[in-house]
Chains A and B, each alone.
Chain A
Amino acid sequence: MADTNREDAFVVFDRVQKSYDGETLVVKDLNLSMPRGEFLTMLGPSGSGKTTCLMMLAGFETATHGEILLGGRPINNIPPHKRGIGMVFQNYALFPHMTVAENLSFPLEVRGIGKSEREEKIKGALERVQMGDFGGRRPAQLSGGQQQRVALARALVFEPELVLMDEPLGALDKQLRETLQFEITHLAHELGITTVYVTHDQTEALTMSDRVAVFDDGMIQQLASPDKLYEEPQNSFVAQFIGENNTLEGVVTEIRGDLCEIRLDNGEIIDAKPVNVSKVGERTRMSIRPERVEMNKERLQEGAHTLKAEVLEFIYMGDIFRTRLRVAGNDDFIIKTRNAPDQLRLKPGEKIEIGWLPSDCRALDA
């Protein structure tokens, strides 16, 4: 987008639209450009259009309108097998009737690469994913994680410049998923491959990517680096979708530069940072991250607003405590506190006061 120059962009979506039935748009006016070597994640709920974008890039779907460029070349009319894009599928899509080595050999054979060179590349690719000893096995004899490694090796073995991954870790258990997340990012950076990664798991998106494009309703809601996305969501959807989030609703009563005053629905007044509000009288939804809520008055800024809260539930989660509060009529207000020896363990029914820095409370669209 704005931060990437169109000229040195490697992958470009230019005003791309997609409709399946001619009545509704699945992808509405998508503009995106990626520099070479970037790891970009398309994140969004199911039906948000992220997989369709990936399929258009791979060539399995055609864009209804707009252009997709790869290395400066429009690829709308290039069939998938000529695009030279590696792809990892959600269900691995390893050919069940071929061994692991034959699976890896397939892309090399169709490219007419000689036998000795093929073997060398297969060996290298398998070793890269720590599957060196499994060349003779059939996919059905491998565990899910091993299959995913082979699928990755197969997508990389013909040295594509762009690799697409469609929820590749969706079917794996949590621990394995985390291990593979690191392996995939390391590999991608090591080899300098441009990667487009599709997932609906926001943790995965945050931990792996250089940039994340949050999709909803066929549009990119926000395209930013993970930290920006988490800390500075541009609208309520992103705030809600990425990480845990507390919301309070109210009406803007005053805007003073980078601070605004908001009257909550129960009449209380708080300060917030105006992000998506423009005029007094507008309804707004504020987003406060649970870990930015402060219970210790001493740590609060001079003159900061505080709100009364009633403890509804205290959940012990090991490393942190999660406390559910009723704040300004919202029963789902969560705060997170670190499990430290001096940390308070609140009991249900306790009345406390909470507050936060106005800059941590972002006034977004209602």
Chain B
Amino acid sequence: MSDQSLTSSAAAPTPSNGPMLAADGTPLKKSLNRALRRQKTRALMLIAPLLIFILVTFIAPIADMLFRSVENQIVSETLPRTVVAINEWEPEETPLPPNDAFEAIYRDIFVAAEEKTHTRLGSRLNYETTGISSLFRKSGRAVDDVGERYVDAISDALPDWKGAGPWAVLGDAAHPALPGYNDAWKDFARVSTASGDDPATEKPWELLFVALAEELRAGALNEYDGPLGTELAQLSTALEPVAPVDYRAAMVEVDEDWEDPDIWATIKTYAPPFTPGYFLNAADMKYSADGIEVKQESERLYGMLFQRTLLMSLTITLATILLGYPVAFLMANLPMRISNLLMIFVLLPFWTSLLVRTSAWKVLLQQEGVINDLLVWIGLIADDGRLVMINNATGTIIAMTHILLPFMILPLYSVMQTIPPSYVRAAKSLGATNWTAFWRVYFPQSVPGIGAGSILVFIVAIGYYITPELVGGTTGVFISNRIAYHISTSLNWGLAAALGSILLVVVLILYWTYDRIVGIDNVKLG
């Protein structure tokens, strides 16, 4: 045994076949990994703070935001009974859902109104069909009275039941013969507890009366063997003469919109927990009875905005190339002392607040502004023919070109600095004129700088917000302004998330195309 191990270990370092072994007999790969592990761990430790920071404050919120673009649990959470009740209903066959659905929506809106979540859902569904918001608000106010006759009947028969006591007993027992009641009790208990009250002493909701009454009317007592059996029998008898509540009629009485098939179709469409609705909306499309269709011309907005954002970003990128290239060229070819001075001028805008710079453009560009005054004074334009250069696309392009110019100049400059002057000299010595030497020798080598600057400027421009907001008016705003509007004003975060996701995808596609055409290796920052 010991003999054998001795020979095998002696033979180990240089096996004729199999993996390469280290001097101590472990596989070389493993040994190398072990040697590198410390290095890797150290590297990981060094980036860990930033990684965690980015994950927590950036990646996770963005992922959550993107998730919101398809997430739609608000409907099934706020209207759980209704979602079940209309599950089988086909809007194409019958315009309105079965009566069960009306009872379900009554109960759901009742609970939602107690929880004050019905307005939130109303606003959400209002994005899809206008009018739902007010419908829900109105229903939330009026829904208390729908089951009044059951409340009266029960209170009259057993005055004790006006208080909390018996309801809590029933609720705690949670007898399987009363599923509807148990369901309502669960909501009652949850809402009471959430607002810091004890459900055992809290005044019972009308919904509890209605739920119990419906159970009793449906003959639940036949199988009931829980507590308060005699009281329930009494109530059952007392309820017999009471006319049943017609929930459909009651809801229509609350608001006649409940008879509008569109409302129900909308609820049905947005019942699932995930929806492409926001994306459809962001692409100027919508769900309808006939499936997905493009919105009417007058309602289309986002396609135009995306197109405008891309076109204007492209214009701005071209403008920065045209203006920035000569400056970068000059800086790269001047002596260090002068080019450093120029560099300060290029960077100067960075040291001034973005808001100040944009506001300065407002002063310069407006119709009674400095530039128009100057042009009128020179006589280039008539006093009544002052140019409109602000609160439109022109204003946005001018201001953003100015603001983004350094992003073009800096990469261009650093790339140009790496082009040795001997190339142009060589070209000239070979007989090329100044222009040919520039165009055929210098320019191709500066293209990576143009690429880097363009990517930088274009991607920054495509998501720019503050400058278009301030000087863009209505014709010069970008998609980002619309996203900001949905985030902070209309509170339609799902749509904002969908628009943001589309923007992200567009940028990625452009990046990919750029990589395919120009090659990302050809982008240098110096």
Q: State the A residues within 8 Å of B (CB).
A: 58-60, 79-87, 89-91, 93-97, 106-107, 110-111, 154-155, 158, 164
Q: What are 30 pairs between A and B in contact, CB < 8 Å?
A: A58-B429, A60-B425, A81-B428, A81-B429, A81-B432, A81-B434, A87-B425, A87-B426, A90-B422, A91-B420, A91-B422, A93-B420, A93-B422, A93-B423, A93-B425, A93-B426, A95-B426, A95-B444, A97-B445, A106-B430, A106-B440, A107-B431, A107-B432, A110-B430, A110-B431, A110-B432, A110-B433, A111-B431, A158-B431, A164-B429
Expressed in whole angstroms, the Cα–Cα distance for A187 and B432 within the complex equals 25
Select A81's contact among B422, B431, B440, beta carbons within 8 Å.
Answer: B431
Q: Which residues of A contact B434 (CB under 8 A)?
A: 79, 81
Q: Which residues of B contact A158 (CB under 8 A)?
A: 430-431
Q: Which of chain A's residues have a CB closer than 8 A to the CB of B445?
A: 95-97
Could you give, for residues 253-272 of chain B, a 1 whenever the CB lies within 8 Å of some chain A CB and a 0 otherwise? 00000000000000000000
Residue from A84, A89, A90 with most neighbouring chain B CB atoms (10 Å): A89
User: Max chain B CB contacts within 10 Å: which of A80, A87, A155?
Assistant: A80
Nearest CB in chain A: distance from B456 CB, A: 22
Q: How far is the CB of A152 from chain B (nearest CB, A)?
A: 12
> What's the minimum C-beta distance from A81 to chain B, rounded to whole angstroms?
5
Cβ of B441 within 8 Å of any chain A Cβ, yes or no, is yes
Residue numbers of B with Cβ under 8 A of A are 420, 422-423, 425-434, 436-437, 440-441, 444-445
Q: How far is it, in angstroms, between the C-alpha of A154 and the C-alpha of B429 when the chains are bound?
A: 11
Q: A58-B425, A79-B434, A95-B423 are in contact. List 4 more A-B contacts (CB 8 A).
A: A86-B430, A93-B426, A95-B426, A158-B430
Q: How far is the CB of B433 from chain A (nearest CB, A)?
A: 6
With CB as the reference atom, state the residue of chain B lying closest to A84.
B431
Cβ-defined partner of A80 (8 Å) among B428, B436, B444: B428
Chain B residues, Cβ within 8 Å of A94:
426
Most interface-central of A89, A95, A155, A164 (chain B CB within 10 A): A95
Q: In the complex, A111 Cα to B444 Cα: how many Å?
A: 21
A60 to B425, CA, bound (A): 7
Task: Enumerate chain B residues within 8 angstroms of A106, measured Cβ to Cβ.
Answer: 427, 430, 432, 440-441
Q: A158: shortest Cβ distance to chain B, in Å?
A: 7
Q: List residues of chain B with CB within 8 A of the CB of A89.
A: 422, 425-426
Residues of B within 8 A of A59 (CB): 428-429
Chain A neighbourhood of B433, CB < 8 A: 81, 110
Q: Which residues of A contact B429 (CB under 8 A)?
A: 58-59, 80-81, 83, 85-87, 155, 164
Min CB distance B434 to A, Å, is 8
- When distances are taken between beta carbons in the complex, the residues of chain B under 8 Å from A82 are 431
Complex alpha-carbon distance, A175 and B208, angstroms: 102
Cα A58 to Cα B431 with chains together (Å) = 11
From B430, which residue of chain A is reached at the shortest CB distance?
Answer: A107
Q: Report the Cα distance A93→B441, complex, angstroms.
A: 11
Closest residue of chain B to A60 (Cβ to Cβ) is B425
